A and B are shown apart, each in its own frame.
Chain A
Amino acid sequence: ADPVRIAAVVQSLDTEFNVLWANAANEHPLVKDGSVKLTVLDGRMDALTQSNQFDTAISEKYDAIIFVPVDIDAGNDPVQRAKDAGITVIGSNTLISNTDLYNAYIASNDVEAGKMLAKSVFDKMGGKGNVVIGEGMIGQSAQVQRLQGIEETLKDYPDIKVLEQKTANWSRAEALSLMENWLTAHAGEINGVIGENDEIAIGALEAIKAHGLDPKTIPVAGVDGVTDALLAVKRGEMMSTLQDADAQAQGAIDLALVAKQPDYKPQAKVWDVNGGKLAWEGGKSQHYSVPWIPVTLDNVDGLLEMRKTQ
Chain B
Amino acid sequence: MAEPASPGEGKPEQAHHVLVPPASVSPSAPEQGAVADTDLLLAATSISKAFAGVPALVDGRIRLKRGSVHALCGGNGAGKSTFLNILMGLHRADAGTVMVKGRVVHYASAAEALADGIAIITQELSPVLDMTVAENIYLGREPRRLGWFADKAKMEADAAALFARLGFDIDARVTMRSLSVAKIQLVEIAKAISRESDILIMDEPTSAIGEKEAATLFQAIRSLQDQGVGIIYVSHRLTDIFSIADSYTVFRDGRFIEAGDLADIDRQRLISLIVGRDLRDQEARDSTSTGEPMISVSGFARHGQFEDISLDLAKGEILGLYGLMGAGRSEFANALYGNAPKDAGTVTIEGRPVEIRSPSDALSNGIAIVTEDRKETGLVLTSSVSENVVLAALDQFSRLGLVDGKKVASNVDGQIARFRIRTASRDLPVQSLSGGNQQKVVLARCVETEPKILICDEPTRGIDEGAKREVYAFLSAFAAAGNSVLMISSEIPEILANADRILVFRRGRIAGELKGAAATQEALVHLAS
Direct contact of A and B (CB under 8 A): no
Interface residues of A (CB under 8 A from B): none
Interface residues of B (CB under 8 A from A): none
